[in-house]
Amino acid sequence: MASRREDVQYLEYIFSQFYDIGVNSYGGVTRLGYTKIEDEMHDMFKDLGEEENLHTYIDEVGNTFVANDISNKEYYLIGSHLDSVVNGGRYDGVVGVLAGLLILNWAKNDNLDIPIRVGAFRCEESSNFGKCTIGSGLITGELKRDDVKGLVSKTGRSIIEIFNSKGYNLSPKKIENVKQYLELHIEQGKVLEEYDIKAGIVTHIAGPRRFEICIYGEAEHSGATPMDMRSDALCAASEFVLELEKLGRKEAHRKSVTTVGVLNNNPNVLNVIPGEVNLGIDIRGIDINSLDEIENGMNEAMKRISKERNVKFFLQSTGRFDPVKMSTHMQKKLSECSEKLRISHKVMPSGAGHDAMAFTRVCDTAMVFIPCYKGISHNKSEFSSLLSIYDGAKIIYEYLKGEK
């Protein structure tokens, strides 16, 4: 068994191989799903697997796998993603893939006879197509061809065109023989760091409900139109945004959150009253009743504002996952492994979405969190330490050894 120093040096080496891919002038990285930059990340992952003389392969939707055994035996799948948000950080998703490579290394050095594969899943972020977990969703059946065939990227490329050009399949065979799925991920919240706890054992993953809203008013002359004769779409949108924030605050005790992350104002010129505004809504929670409360409140607000301001609201759902529960027995065993390794840990929900959501459809699934600097994520300042990644990987490896 290599020393901890050698393991951390290996982590440092593989982390550095990804470091500059997709770097932008703001200091962060933009590695959008199903783009050339994400291709580069997957090529690098495949190269790193081949460097260790491991098996590598790519599935029908472009997910990349590195494995110690590609027979049709049941295997343990460790996974995450290599895409990022726009100007995001270098740890979201990547730490899970790094941990997987380290675990494969340990298993090889220990001659641990357990089939293990590490998967890097395409387009986990909704940043490029407005839909999340496309790679893992398609191969687990969470997403069907009809759910994605109409998607168009931020640069106007259709997913059909991208899949055709890469020889991918929008109706892939469902992934098979996965005994269990485990994912290491940065917490993307402040709890672990705040309480100086080294690991989180995830109980639930919040279910996202996402919507696009178009608000139509009337684009008119900003100087000649009296205040009481306007249908200002941006004022209506602003009232709606604050209303949705209020709904989120009201449901915070049930761990729900609401965000308007996208606002496009048209025609967005100084001397024209905004005639049309498009909003992107992200609601999350682990309690379905709470999410329903928020959704009802959102519909009430739209009705009221549209009447009071003489505008029209058009709502379209762009994604809906129920909250998912992680495997109870895996949670228990992961906690026991953390105890045994004397790594402080706590059980906790995940507010962020992950590829693990999709895998709950095909096998027992669990997640381990590690702290990240001030809980910052989806931001160039995102940071976690190599030692944290090492600790998280140790817990998962200890768990796998216990499965022998």
DSSP SS3 for 223: coil
Shortest Cβ distance from residue 152 to ligand HGY (Å)? 19
Closer residue to Mn ion (CB): 93 or 371 = 93
Structural element, H or E, at residue 345 = strand 345-350
Closer residue to ligand HGY (CB): 284 or 333 = 284
Query: What is the rounded distance in angstroms from the CA atom of residue 173 to the CA atom of residue 159?
Result: 18
Q: Kindly tell me which residue out of 124, 183, 276, 391 binds ligand HGY, with binding defined by CB under 6 A.
A: 124
Query: What is the rounded distance in angstroms from the CA atom of residue 29 to the CA atom of residue 33?
Result: 13
Q: Residue 283's beta-bridge partner residues?
A: 209, 258
62 makes contact with Mn ion (CB under 5 A): no
Taking phi over 0 as left and psi of -120 to 50 as alpha, with beta for the rest, 377 belongs to beta
What phi and psi, each to the nearest 5 degrees, are found at residue 153?
-75, 175
Shortest Cβ distance from residue 373 to ligand HGY (Å)? 16
Shortest Cβ distance from residue 364 to ligand HGY (Å)? 22
Q: Residue count at the site for ligand HGY (CB under 6 A)? A: 5
Shortest Cβ distance from residue 274 to ligand HGY (Å)? 28
355 makes contact with ligand HGY (CB under 6 A): no
Look up tokens 């761990």; give the residue. 255
Could you tell me the sign of the dihedral formed by the alpha carbons of 122, 124, 126, 127, in that order? negative
Closer residue to Mn ion (CB): 139 or 356 = 356
Site for Mn ion in 70-109 (CB under 5 A): 92-93
Nearest Cα neighbor of 184 from 275, 299, 79, 50 is 79
Query: What is the rounded distance in angstroms from the CA atom of residue 173 to the CA atom of residue 206?
Result: 27
Shortest Cβ distance from residue 95 to Mn ion (Å)? 9
Shortest Cβ distance from residue 124 to Mn ion (Å)? 6
Q: Kindly tell me which residue out of 116, 118, 120, 132 binds ligand HGY, with binding defined by CB under 6 A.
A: 132
- Residue 353's binding partner among ligand HGY, Mn ion, none (Cβ under 5 to 8 angstroms by kind) is ligand HGY
Site for Mn ion in 176-195 (CB under 5 A): none
Nearest Cα neighbor of 48 from 21, 23, 27 is 21
Residue 318's CB is within 10 A of a number of other CB atoms, namely 18
125 makes contact with ligand HGY (CB under 6 A): yes
352 makes contact with ligand HGY (CB under 6 A): yes
- Residue 132's binding partner among ligand HGY, Mn ion, none (Cβ under 5 to 8 angstroms by kind) is ligand HGY
Shortest Cβ distance from residue 108 to ligand HGY (Å)? 31
Interacting span for ligand HGY (CB under 6 A) from 37-45, 124-132, 253-261, 301-309: 124-132
Closer residue to Mn ion (CB): 131 or 230 = 131
353 makes contact with ligand HGY (CB under 6 A): yes
Query: What is the rounded distance in angstroms from the CA atom of residue 60 to the CA atom of residue 138?
Result: 9
Q: Which residues have C-beta within 8 Å of that of residue 395, sequence separation ≥ 6?
A: 199, 334, 337, 338, 341, 343, 345, 368
Using CB under 6 A, list all residues that contact ligand HGY.
124-125, 132, 352-353
